[in-house]
Amino acid sequence: MNSQDKEVKEKELSVEELNDLIIDSIQDIKGKRIVKLDLRHLEDTPTDFFIICEGESNTQVKAISDNIYRRIKQEGGTLPVHLEGQQNALWVLLDYFETVVHVFYRDTRKFYELEDLWGDAIFTEYEEM
């Protein structure tokens, strides 16, 4: 590892940089219906941001979540404080404290309607690549 790599590893990502890297990681694997919910103006929220997307198969859901995990670890030097759902890959949750990522299988996303539960959030939708 050269000194430039070391500097990158030691640099802590801002929440904006983290969110941008998460979105980019989802787009890498062709995640669908990507949305960021800004919850900072609401009271009693579990986090500042939710990033929600979906995959068309369990394999794609797992690939998206694996890519987020790998890129945040490599490029941001950060691991999630909590990770669950990898086994069935119907709903994978990656908790980065300020941002919680929800990677859904399409039918599971429809069932839980997470966006409806947080309808007062500020929504930002992202293009599919």
Structural domain boundaries in the chain: 14-126
Rounded Cα distance, 48 and 86, in Å? 23
Phi/psi of residue 95, nearest 5 degrees: -105, 110
The answer to whether 64 and 52 have CB atoms below 8 angstroms apart is: no
Residue 47's pLDDT is what?
97
Pick the CATH number of 14-126 from 3.40.50.300, 3.90.660.10, 3.30.1240.10, 3.30.460.10: 3.30.460.10
Summarised one tens digit per residue, pLDDT across range 22-81 is 999 999 999 999 999 999 999 999 999 999 999 999 999 999 999 999 999 999 999 999
- Is pLDDT larger for residue 5 or for residue 53? 53
The answer to whether 94 and 100 have CB atoms below 8 angstroms apart is: yes
Tokens representing 75 are 């490029």
Residue type at 39?
L
CA-CA-CA-CA torsion for 66, 67, 68, 69, nearest 10 degrees?
Answer: 50
Rounded Cα distance, 9 and 100, in Å? 22
Q: Where are the alpha helices (DSSP H) in 13-119?
A: 15-28, 58-76, 106-112, 114-117
pTM: 0.89
Q: Above pLDDT 70, what percent of the chain?
A: 91
On average, the pLDDT of the chain sits at 92
Tokens representing 79 are 């691991």
